């Protein structure tokens, strides 16, 4: 029997490097609309909502016909927003879709839902072919075992660069089992999480399995106004 699935797109207005980012125009549409419409195309999601605490974002989403759940302004992260929405639903699987990934393909979301298996959570990775990505600390790397279970995530190049083709870029979309997500947000920040500034390490340090699914697709996150130009160029190639 198919799991009941909910896609949650956390969105906050006050991003430090790019205030108002969810409402930034990308090729004529707000960023949050582009992410929402891509998520709605995923075959494995029964419902998609934007989780925010900002009335400007709420008004924009409802204006293009999207669904919004208002969450607490005190949520420290997008994961906490997703968990707040999860408490209000009976969905068995929650997919946390980054609100700044307008190029995330619906096939990637479906892969998360189909591939989580018995793990507490699942995420995506793709082979690194550009050396600049390997050495860029803003590009997170992941190593995983023969069954696809994550061994470690790092901002450093891992594993040691003895041979090409053994490195994977982490793509930060996640599927969580609802019960695990509600537990996860109450776990204290772990030592490695604080060191690397990578939230997913909290799960590994507490003994939970993360299934890593390899995708051939890539995505460009919008972190700065300059990234808008990169995304628009990629959209122009796809059209």
pTM for this predicted structure: 0.94
pLDDT at 238: 83
Query: Of 70, 106, 83, 95, nearest to 176 (Cα)?
Result: 95
Three-state DSSP class for 179? helix
Whether residue 3 is predicted with pLDDT greater than 70 in this model: the reply is no
Alpha carbons 150 and 65: distance in angstroms, whole number: 37
Alpha carbons 23 and 35: distance in angstroms, whole number: 11
63: tokens are 């204006």
Confidence of residue 164 (pLDDT cuts 50, 70, 90): low
- Average pLDDT on 40-45 reads 97
Span 92-115, pLDDT tens digits:
999 999 999 999 999 999 999 999
pLDDT at 1: 42
Confidence of residue 12 (pLDDT cuts 50, 70, 90): very high
Beta strands 5-10 and 25-26: pairing type? unpaired
Alpha carbons 203 and 142: distance in angstroms, whole number: 14
Whether residue 220 is predicted with pLDDT greater than 90 in this model: the reply is no
Query: Which residue matches tokens 């995983």?
Result: 144
* Domains annotated on the chain, with CATH: 5-238 (3.90.550.10)
């Amino acid at each position: 029997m198919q799991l009941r699935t909910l896609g949650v797109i956390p969105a906050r207005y006050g991003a430090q490097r790019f205030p108002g980012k969810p409402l930034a125009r990308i090729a004529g549409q707000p960023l949050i609309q582009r992410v929402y419409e891509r998520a709605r195309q995923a075959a494995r999601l029964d419902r998609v909502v934007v989780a925010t605490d900002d009335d400007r974002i709420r008004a924009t989403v409802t204006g293009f016909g999207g669904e919004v759940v208002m969450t607490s302004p005190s949520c420290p992260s997008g994961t906490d927003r997703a968990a707040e929405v999860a408490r209000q639903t009976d969905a068995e699987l929650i997919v946390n879709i980054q609100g700044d990934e307008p190029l995330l393909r619906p096939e990637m979301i479906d892969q998360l839902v189909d591939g989580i298996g018995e793990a507490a959570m699942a995420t995506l990775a793709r082979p690194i072919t550009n050396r600049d990505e390997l050495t860029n600390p803003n590009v997170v790397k992941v190593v995983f075992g023969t069954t696809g279970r994550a061994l470690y995530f790092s901002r450093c190049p891992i594993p040691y660069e003895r041979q090409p083709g053994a490195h994977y870029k982490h793509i930060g979309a996640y599927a969580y089992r609802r019960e695990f997500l509600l537990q996860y947000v109450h776990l204290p920040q772990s030592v490695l999480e604080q060191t690397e500034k990578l939230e997913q390490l909290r799960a590994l340090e507490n003994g939970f399995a993360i299934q890593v699914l390899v995708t051939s697709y890539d995505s460009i996150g919008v972190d700065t106004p300059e990234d808008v130009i990169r995304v628009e160029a990629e959209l122009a190639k796809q059209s």
